[in-house]
Chain A
Amino acid sequence: MKRMHKFAVGFAAVLLVCCAVLLLNQKVNAAAEGKITGTVKLDGTPPHMKGLDMSKDPYCVKANANDAPKMENVVVGSAGALENVVLYISEGLSGAALTQPATAVPVFDQKNCRYTPHVLAMDVGETFKVTTSDQTAHNIHPNPNPMTGNIPWNQSQPPGAPPIEKKWKAPEMIEVKCNIHPWMHGWFAVVKGPYATTDASGNYTINNVPPGNYTVTAWQETYGTQTQKVTVAAGAPAKADFTFKAK
C-alpha cells in the first residue's frame, strides 16, 4: 500500500513538471512578439562615394544608363538616415529565442551588375538564395575566414542560371565579390538570432524578441559597431537609436 502511495506521489510530481514545462513554453511563444525598433543616423557630412566604372562590360553600362552608379560603403538618405546597417542581439539571447521562426528566405540578387541588397543579413544556419536578373555572367565569391568554420566557395551564374542555395555555419561579416565585375561588392552579415537591416529611412525593427534585457549591436561596414542595452517587455517594443559619426 505504501508503495502505491509513493508511486502516486511520484506520478503527480511528473505530471506537475510536465504541465509547468508546457505552460512556460506557451509563455515564451506568446512573448515572441516583442520587438526592438529604432533609427540609425549618420552625424556629419557623408563621405564622397566614388562613381563606378563599368566600361569593362557594355551590358552593365547599358543597364545603368539612367543613373550614375556609385560605391555603397556608406548610403545616406535624407536627414542623415543610414541605410544597410545590420542590427542584431549580441548579448542576452538564450534557448528558445535563439531559434528563429521560419520567415521568408533572404535573397541576394545580382541586378544591373550590382548586389541587391548591398548587405544581406541572415541567421547562422539559415538558408539563403543567390539569384541573377542579369544578362551577363557573374561569379559569386564570398571570402569568409575559414578559421571561423565558414568555408569560402566560388560559383558561376551565367544568364538564366538557377538560384544558388547556401547557408553559413558561424557568425561573421563576409565580403562578397564578383571577379568578373570587380566593382561588385557586398556583404553577407551572418549573426546569431533575430536581426534587422535599416531601410532607406534608417529605420529598423527586430521582430520575435522575447521579453528580457539585451545588448543590441549595430554594424556598419565602414564605421564598425556600436552597442546599446535595452529592455524588452511584453507588448512594449524597446527603442534603440544609433548615431554613427562621419570620419
Chain B
Amino acid sequence: MRTRLHQSLLCLGTMLTAFPLASLAQQTQADFNARMGMESHIGNVTGHAKNAQYDYRRYCVGCHGERGDGMGENAPWIDPKPRDFQLGIFKCRSTPTGTLPTDQDLSDTIARGLDRSNMPQWNIFTIQQKADLVAWVKHFSPRWVNEKPGTPIEIPTEPEVTPERIKDGREVFARVQCWKCHGVTGEANGPSASTLQDDLGRPIAAYNFTDGSRPKCGSSDQDIYRIFMTGLDGTPMPSFADNIKPDEAWDLVFYLRALMSQPSKEKAMAKQLGLKPVDPNAPAGQQ
C-alpha cells in the first residue's frame, strides 16, 4: 500500500514538473510553426510564406537581410535604411497608429515602392508572388502571431473641390501646425525640420511638397488623406485622427494639392484666390 502511494506521488510529481516544460516547448514549436505557416489574404488570393523564399532571396535579401532585420549587405550604403521586419512597424498603413497594417497595405507598398528611397516599384511580381512575399515579410515578426491588423480607417467619398474648401484646408494646415516641420510653403523647411529623427535616432527629412517628388505612401487623394490620419509609424509624422474631422481632412488634402508643384485643379484655384502661405504668428482662427 505504502509503495503504491509513493509511486503515485512520484508519478504526480513528475507530471507536475514535466507538464509546464512540455507545454512551453510546445508553445515555441507552435510559434515557429505559426510563423513558417504564415499566410496572407489579398482579395481572393492567399499567400504562403514558404513559397516566397526564392523571391525573397533573389530580390529582397540584399537590403532587408537574411533575417529580415534590415541589415542586408547593401544596408550600410543606402539611406533611408531598409525596413527591419522583425519590429513589425510600418510607415504605410490604412490602420490607426500603433497597429499592424493589413496584408493589402504591405502588398501595395511592394507594388508602389517608396519614393526617394532604394525601394523600387516591384511591378515584375504577379499578385500571387506579392501575396507570398507579404506572408514572408510577416513571418519575421512575432507580432503577427500574437496580434491582428488594425481596422482600416474610414475614408468618406471625396467631395467636389471648391475654392472655399481650399481656404478651409489652409486653416486646418495652420491650426494643427503642419508647418512646424513641412514649412509654411510646404518646402520641408519648418522650424523643427532640421532636428527630425526616426524611432532609431537616425536623421529623417520631412516631406517636401514642392520638389515634384511623390509622397512615400502613395499620391492619390485617398493616399494623402490616409497618410495624415494614420501617421507614418517609426517616423516623426504623427496621426491627426483625433484632431481633424473627416470633412476637414478633405479640405486639407485639397490645400496640400495646391502646395504641390504638379499642376492640378486645386493649384489653379489657389492661384486664382491669391492664397498666401499661412502666418505662424497669426492668432488662432485668424489666418
- The answer to whether B284 touches A155, judged by C-beta atoms less than 8 angstroms apart, is no
A63 to chain B, nearest CB (A): 15
B177 touches A158 (CB 8 A): yes
Find A137's partner among B88, B99, B177 (CB 8 Å cutoff): B177
Name the residue on A nearest B190 (C-beta): A180
> How far apart are the CA atoms of A136 and B174 in the complex, in Å?
11
Evaluate contact between B192 and A182: CB separation under 8 angstroms.
yes
Point out the residues of chain A lying under 8 angstroms from B196, CB to CB. 179
Q: How far is the CA of A56 from the CA of B280 in the complex (A)?
A: 12
What is the size, in residues, of chain B's interface with A at 8 Å between Cβ atoms? 36
Nearest Cβ distance between residue B194 and chain A, in whole angstroms?
Answer: 9
Query: Mostly helix, strand, loop or mixed at chain A's interface?
Result: loop
Give complex CA distance A104, B39 in Å.
44
In the bound assembly, the distance between CA atoms of A65 and B74 in angstroms comes to 49
Q: Is B239 close to A, CB under 8 A? A: yes
Partner of B99, one of A147, A149, A151: A151
Please provide the chain B residues from 219 to 275 with a CB less than 8 Å away from any CB of chain A in the complex: 231, 233-243
Tell me, yes or no, whether A141 is within 8 Å of chain B by CB.
yes
List the one stretch of A21-29, A31-39, A82-90, A159-167 in contact with chain B: A159-167
Chain B residues, CB < 8 A from A161: 242-243
Chain A min CB distance to B180 (Å): 5
Which A residue sits closest to B239, measured CB to CB? A155
* Bound-complex Cα distance A154 to B243 (A): 13
- Complex CA distance for A143 and B238, rounded to whole angstroms: 13
| Contact assessment for B242 and A182 in the assembled complex, using a CB-CB cutoff below 8 Å | no
Which residues on the A side are within 8 Å of B89 (C-beta)?
Answer: 146, 152
**How far does the alpha carbon of A137 sit from the alpha carbon of B237 in the complex, in Å?**
13
Q: Per a CB cutoff under 8 Å, which of A56, A146, A164 touches B192?
A: A56
Evaluate contact between B231 and A179: CB separation under 8 angstroms: no
B236 touches A156 (CB 8 A): no
| B195 at interface by CB-CB < 8 Å | yes
Q: Which of B88, B141, B195 is A182 in contact with, Cβ under 8 Å?
A: B195
Complex CA–CA separation, A101 to B242 (angstroms): 30
| Residue A111 at the chain B interface, CB threshold 8 Å | no
Q: Does B98 count as interface, using CB distance less than 8 angstroms?
A: yes
Are A153's CB and B177's CB within 8 A?
no
Instruction: Enumerate chain A residues within 8 angstroms of B239, measured Cβ to Cβ.
Output: 153-156
Residue of B87, B97, B191, B243 near A153 (CB, 8 A) is B97
Find the A residue at minimum CB distance from B200: A143
B283 nearest in chain A by CB position? A135
Whether the Cβ atoms of A180 and B242 lie closer than 8 Å is no
Q: Please name the residue on chain A nearest to B100 by beta carbon.
A: A151
Please tell me if B154 contacts chain A, counting CB pairs below 8 Å.
no
Residue of A nearest to B206 (CB): A179
B242 pairs with A155, CB closer than 8 A? yes
**In the complex, are the beta carbons of B236 and A139 less than 8 A apart?**
yes
1/0 contact trace for A122-150 toward B, CB 8 Å? 00000000000001110111010011010
**Between-chain CB contacts (< 8 Å), 30 pairs:** A56-B192, A57-B180, A58-B281, A141-B236, A146-B88, A146-B141, A147-B87, A151-B98, A151-B99, A152-B199, A153-B98, A153-B239, A154-B235, A155-B97, A155-B238, A155-B242, A156-B176, A156-B239, A158-B175, A158-B176, A158-B177, A160-B284, A161-B242, A179-B181, A179-B192, A179-B236, A179-B238, A180-B236, A182-B192, A182-B197
Excluding A153-B97, A156-B231, A182-B192, 9 further A-B contacts by CB distance (< 8 Å) are A56-B192, A136-B177, A139-B238, A146-B141, A152-B199, A159-B175, A159-B284, A162-B242, A179-B238
